[in-house]
Structure 1
Amino acid sequence: MRLSRTARILLRSAAALGLAVIYLPLLLVLVDSVNADRSFGWPPGGVTGRWWADAWHSAGARSALWVSVRAGLGATAVALVLGTLVAFAVQRYAFFGRQTLSFVVVLPIALPGVVTGIALNSAFRSVLPPLGLGFGLLTVIIGHATFCVVIVFNNVVARLRRVSGSYEEAAMDLGAGPFQAFRDVTWPLVRSAVAVGGLLAFALSFDEIVVTTFTAGAGVQTLPVWIFGNLARPQQAPVVNVVAAVLVLLSVIPVYAAQRLSGDTAAGGRI
């Protein structure tokens, strides 16, 4: 379809406006992290690395970063196992309730975070005390895993739909057992989708705040929760901007890696 010159200009303008709305606030966070003026007046009164040094020496920020990394890795590990297994079950086997299972797995990503958080909070308060457990890092990981599973599931299912089951059948006809067929044939075809799902799941977990608020204990504070808790403290404002800038930069890495991996696979991994 060919567009007129006016239509192309309007579409490009709309795209530029949309990107500006998304990325200009992020750019302002990066600028404020090196702004010498504590009040963050505009234009910046100068450039300084003092706030970055203060953030580096902030025990609370470093502790929160480590908690976020552990929670993200734990949720990603759970999502990789459950999401991949459910994807294979739904896509490779026919059984009663298959579509219902697929719907139930995908539903958490569509629910508001506050609804998921309240539901998990109520469930944990009912289940954990009899077991002698309380809110902590484990409950945060479980909470994050509920929506991270969806990311892995969707990526693996999408790949399996493009991979015919006849490849595995051919391998077994040639004498390979089920495990060998999976290892030598199926896994090489889906592993990039699993990796992309894991990267995106980690990025989603790393930035999560709403579900974390309802599932974390008093002594557990992830980086987004730490930022939110220090926003109202004027003396912490410069450090908060630095931590927010770091959070943005760290979130870009897995998303960029997933995008490159998806692009490389699409370009050179077609069957």
Structure 2
Amino acid sequence: LQMRVVCKVLDVPSGVKGGHRSGKGTVALGTMNTPGLKSSKACLSVFTAAGKEHKYPLDGSSEVKMIHDKFIDQGKLTIVWTIPSRTIFVSDANPAVLRNLLHKLRAVLKGENIESLKEITKEKKSDLGGQVSMVVNKREEYPKKGFPSATLKTLVLSGIGLKRVDGRWFSSTLLTSLDLSRNQMGAAPDKEKMKNMVKLVNLQELNPSHNRLVGLSSDVFSSLPPSLLRLDLSFNLLRSMPPLDNLHHS
């Protein structure tokens, strides 16, 4: 998994914040390939709307002096590096997403192997400050080419006659709310695709109510991300549910 936080960010040499202003950008935690090495290594990257990128390899060649997270509930975070001598100021971030990234970052700094990290890809300037909410009111408005996956947090696809699961939903890893209500998804809603729900590491609300779901298997339930707070299965045709003791989520 590549963790990415859309935020305002300022990445400057330590001690020279004055005269600099933060701008829209992203902070990403993932892996980077190193020429001559078969394996990739963990890396924190900062992208700015101006197209600049700073990479901080997390293999010992970069050293964190301090992480200031007192105001993380306000979407703020400061990371001070000893090597190189730079400071990253993050603000206007989604607090839940920022906490998730910080948790993973601290795990990597402790030497834990985060096998799910993916290679960091360069940001498109158009992704920065992009669309955070999408509401599709008619089937003909449904995206044919893709979703703004780098920034999308809310996706509403209610009442447009959907019958199948679209795997593109699961590329929007910042998504916190997915509304699939009042559609026509039936007895077997693409079980294998549904397992990709685990990729939505920030998802808090999932609403597939008012569909034609007949039963959900335990492996689909176990794919629900730990971040999920609300699941609405009302007004379906459910005849069976997996035993609760087989679930990873309550």
TM-score past 0.5 threshold? no
Question: Whose helix proportion is higher, 1 or 2?
Answer: 1
Larger Rg, first or second structure (1 or 2): 1
Using CA pairs below 8 Å that are at least 6 residues apart, which structure has the higher relative contact order?
Answer: 1
Range class of TM-score, shorter chain: under 0.3
TM-score of the two chains, using structure 1 as the length reference: 0.23
